[in-house]
């Protein structure tokens, strides 16, 4: 039995978790900073770092308390050390180093984007497990079969991967402009929805007609596995506000979003969501076809990242799985968004390989994959 303490502070969630044997989540604590950033309609890096500093100690203590373990009873300390906001990452990395050094435990740095692909494997023990925002899946999900096709859809990243094992991940394609979560958040600002916009837009879309507007599905070159979402965002902006006169900060629009009726707003949200999810599904299908044509067809599909909480993406991915006879692994809702359980879970793979870091472990703004 291996218990790993995970720490995650890459953006605006301060999180700690304890995970047994890579999958069983004994404690899962997430302190969100959404209230601090809401009035700026985006994450303010300086505010995020300071909030992490205030919260990291109590959040780690709470996770250990819930798991019923002391520092001496954990086997390793794992931390998301890349990618993210550098000031935010440094807080988690420093805390992890201090605990590893003081308790004499191995330190394991984990790539946050790769960890999102581990989230679908996590579950709570039958007796409960605990922390914030629990949605306990009924039983442990079956582990994915490899090689798998991986899709990470978050606020900072949108990319497809060939996953040969949890620790061997190769990027097949990525967004060339906005991440899909970022496009959702910007679309929500255009529609004057609350912050953070993705979940609000998802809920509003359920009330609208997805065929009301035909927004672009940018597929790029015929065999490209890259993504582009900036055209979709601009198409929504023009549909809401009309074509601008002038450019940049001086642009003047014909309309304001305040003029929209509830019906129009819902139709715009539904049409945006249909285009965004269509694009993701079409790219998944393209990647599956390309992998099937090569030496290593995918034996499963793994999706992770904040946008994996999206209701339409989950439904369409499940439908794709049935149609193409491929197992689809989606995280339980509570593990879609940033959390430390996915960090501790993936770190278990490195623990088994004895892949440890020393106290020189850096915080790095960019991803390793």
Considering only the stretches 14-22, 33-41, 235-243, 307-315, report the one whose residues sit in contact with ligand KG4 under the rule CB under 6 A: 307-315
Contact between 197 and ligand KG4 per CB under 6 A: yes
Long-range contacts of the stretch 31-37 (C-beta < 8 A, 24+): 31/55, 31/59, 31/132, 34/195, 34/196, 36/12, 37/12, 37/195
Q: In this chain, which stretch among 62-70, 193-201, 215-223, 349-357 interacts with ligand KG4, using CB under 6 A?
A: 193-201
Name the one range near ligand KG4 by CB under 6 A: 49-57, 132-140, 169-177, 301-309: 301-309
Residue 186 neighbours by CB under 8 Å, 6+ apart = 178, 197, 233
62, 111, 178, 338: residue in contact with ligand KG4 (rule CB under 6 A): 338
Start-to-end CA span in the chain (Å): 29
Which listed residue (12, 202, 226, 338) binds Zn ion by CB under 5 A?
A: 338
Q: Which is nearer to Zn ion, 92 or 210 (CB)?
A: 92
Task: Fill in the per-residue mask, 139 to 158: x = in contact with Zn ion (CB under 5 A), - = not in contact.
Answer: ---------------x----
By beta-carbon proximity to ligand KG4, the closer residue of 173 and 306 is 306
**Which is nearest to 49 in space by CA: 87, 80, 9?**
87
Candidate ranges 51-59, 214-222, 336-344, 351-359; the one touching Zn ion (CB under 5 A)? 336-344
Give Cα separations from 132 to 31, 64, 121, 214, 341 (angstroms): 8, 14, 19, 39, 12
| 5 Cβ contact partners less than 8 Å away, ≥ 6 residues apart | 16, 17, 18, 60, 63, 64, 71, 74, 76, 77, 78, 99, 344
Closest distance to ligand KG4 from the beta carbon of 307 (Å): 4
- Interface residue list for Zn ion (CB under 5 A): 154, 338
Residues that bind ligand KG4 (CB under 6 A): 11, 154-156, 181-182, 184-185, 196-199, 202, 305-307, 309-310, 337-338
């Amino acid at each position: 039995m291996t218990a790993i303490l995970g720490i995650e502070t890459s953006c605006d969630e301060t999180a700690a978790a304890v995970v047994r044997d890579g999958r069983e989540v004994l404690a899962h604590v997430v302190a969100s900073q959404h209230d601090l950033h809401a009035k700026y309609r985006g994450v303010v890096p300086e505010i995020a770092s300071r909030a992490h500093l205030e919260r990291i100690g109590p959040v780690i203590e709470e996770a250990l308390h819930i798991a019923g373990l002391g520092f001496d009873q954990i086997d390793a300390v794992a931390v998301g050390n890349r990618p993210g906001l550098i000031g935010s990452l440094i807080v988690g990395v420093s805390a992890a180093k201090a605990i590893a050094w003081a308790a004499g435990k191995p330190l394991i740095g984990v790539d946050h984007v790769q960890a999102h692909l581990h989230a679908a494997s996590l579950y709570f023990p039958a007796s409960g497990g605990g922390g914030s925002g629990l949605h306990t899946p009924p039983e442990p999900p079956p582990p994915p079969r490899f090689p798998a096709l991986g899709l990470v859809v978050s606020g900072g990243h949108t990319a497809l991967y060939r996953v040969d094992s949890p620790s061997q991940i190769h990027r097949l394609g990525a967004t060339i402009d906005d991440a899909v979560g970022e496009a959702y958040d910007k679309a929500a600002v255009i529609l004057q929805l609350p912050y953070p916009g993705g979940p609000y837009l998802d809920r509003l879309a359920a009330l609208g007609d997805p065929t009301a507007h035909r927004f672009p599905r940018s597929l790029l070159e015929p065999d490209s596995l890259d993504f582009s979402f900036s055209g979709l965002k601009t198409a929504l902006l023009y549909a809401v506000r009309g074509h601008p006169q002038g450019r940049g900060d001086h642009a003047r629009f014909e309309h304001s979003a305040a003029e929209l009726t509830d019906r129009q707003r819902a139709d715009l949200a539904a049409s945006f969501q249909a285009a965004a999810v269509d694009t993701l599904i079409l790219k998944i299908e393209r990647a599956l076809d390309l992998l099937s044509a090569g030496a290593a067809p995918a034996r499963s599909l793994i999706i992770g990242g904040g946008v994996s909480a999206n209701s339409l993406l989950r439904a369409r991915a499940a439908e794709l799985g049935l149609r193409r006879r491929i197992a689809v692994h989606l995280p339980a809702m509570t593990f879609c968004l940033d959390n430390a359980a996915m960090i501790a879970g993936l770190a278990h793979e490195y623990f088994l390989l004895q892949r440890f870091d020393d106290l020189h472990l850096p915080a790095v703004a960019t991803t390793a994959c």
